[in-house]
Amino acid sequence: MFDLKPETEDLARRVIGAAIEVHRTLGPGFLEKVYQRALSVELEHQGIAHRIESSIKILYRGVDIGEGRADILVMDQLIVELKTVDAISDIHRAQVISYLKATKLR
C-alpha cells in the first residue's frame, strides 16, 4: 500500500509488537493514558526512542494556526494514535491522516 523504507517497516513491526505486548499484559478496559504510559515503558524497555504527546504544528498558507498532539511519535518516523474504542471511526482515521499531512510523514 505504501512504499516505506525497510527500516521504517521494521520499526513499525517492532512498535506493533510492543503494543500487542502491552495489550496482552494489561488487557482491555483502561483509559488511553494508561495504555500510552505502558507503551512508553515498553518502547523504552526495547530501546525505541519516542516522545509522548508530541506537538504537531498546523500550518495554513505558511502561518502557524494551532497544533495537534500525537499520542506517541516514534523516532520522528511513526505516529501512534491510541484509541480505546470498540471500532475505529472515520473521524479517527481523519485525525491520523491530518497528522500525517501536517508532519509530512507517510
Grid cell in block for residue 56:
504537531
pLDDT digits (tens, 9 = 90+) for 42-95: 999 999 999 999 999 999 999 999 999 999 999 999 999 999 999 999 999 999
Calpha distance 72→56 (Å, rounded): 11
Domain boundaries, the chain: 6-103
Tell me the one-letter amino acid at 4: L
pLDDT digits (tens, 9 = 90+) for 13-31: 999 999 999 999 999 999 9
